[in-house]
Amino acid sequence: MNGIINVLKPPGMSSSGVVVFLKRLLNIKKIGHTGTLDPGAAGVLVICLNRATRLFDIFMDEEKEYIAEIKFGISTDTQDLYGYITGSSEAIAGENQLLDILPKFTGEIEQITPIYSAAKQQGKPLYSLARQGLDIREKKRLVTISGIEYLGKTGHNRFLLSVKCSKGTYIRTLISDIGEKIGIPSVMSFLLRTKSGEFYLDKAYTIDELKGLASEKRIQDAVIKPEDALLKFRAVNVTKSEAAKLKNGCTIVFSGYTESERVRVFCDGSFLGLADAVDGNLKIIIHLGEVEDN
């Protein structure tokens, strides 16, 4: 079984927990997700199976979209509702304050990686070090927020936002930074990932749906073929002799390209993998076809 499953991760289940669940359900060893969602968050979690795990980097680089709620009045050490309160205020945030400040958080911005995160220091997750009370070096990273849309007020001192961002963006840190900029402590009180690359929430399978498909021996219905998950790349066909060269790591002459382009390569209807076409040459960068799984 090779391919991708678009899972709707439920709140309360960790991303690694989803991987463990599917590993047991499908009885496979080679499996992983392409971008952690906080345990309390829900939404799209892209899971790669067997040979499709070679596409991790491709999918992780994709833009993500979220719906997040910002709650003003408190701050926590985890920047969400699951941590210890580190600050509080009776101040009331106004819609106009929020609307005025949001444009300052679009484009390329700098974030400090939260100490309760899966980012690593000397090979260990920061959340593990934080729980042990060990010193954590401040880590800064540049991320890109391509858009923030104000969706409305949801309650007392609570507002809903839609965020489009690059990989590596911490939405709870963004929420915390927005509150700091306004001058009122804030936390992320809700998070839903609605899109990851070309994977959408309305096409995601719940845990119960996957259990049902497995019990009916129809789990393959939920598995997207690698070539169908990469439709943004143009398809090209090669001959059998050219395919043999590509499989052996060779570059072949491929005319008709004046600019660099990444393409899906097929031979007689069989998907070989992703290749880079540069200056009239074609070379496979990720092999996905006709390779035995261990």
Question: Residues with catalytic annotation?
Answer: 38
Which residues are CB-contacts of 262 (< 8 A; sequence separation ≥ 6)? 233, 274, 275, 276, 277, 285
- Alpha carbons within 13 angstroms on the beta-carbon side of residue 284 total 22
**Residue 22: is it exposed, middle or buried by C-beta count within 10 angstroms (0-12/13-18/19+)?**
buried
CA distance 180 to 37: 24
> Minimal CA–CA distance to 293: which of 126, 34, 48?
48
Query: What is the token pair recorded at 290?
Result: 């006709």
Query: What is the token pair recorded at 77?
Result: 């050490």
Strand partners, 271: 266
CA distance 101 to 99: 6
> Minimal CA–CA distance to 23: which of 43, 5, 38?
5
**Residue 175: is it exposed, middle or buried by C-beta count within 10 angstroms (0-12/13-18/19+)?**
buried
Written as one letter, the residue type at 66 is Y
Largest CA distance in the chain: 72
* 33 C-beta neighbours (distance < 10 Å), count: 22
CA distance 100 to 120: 35
Decide the pairing of beta strands 186-196 and 64-72.
antiparallel
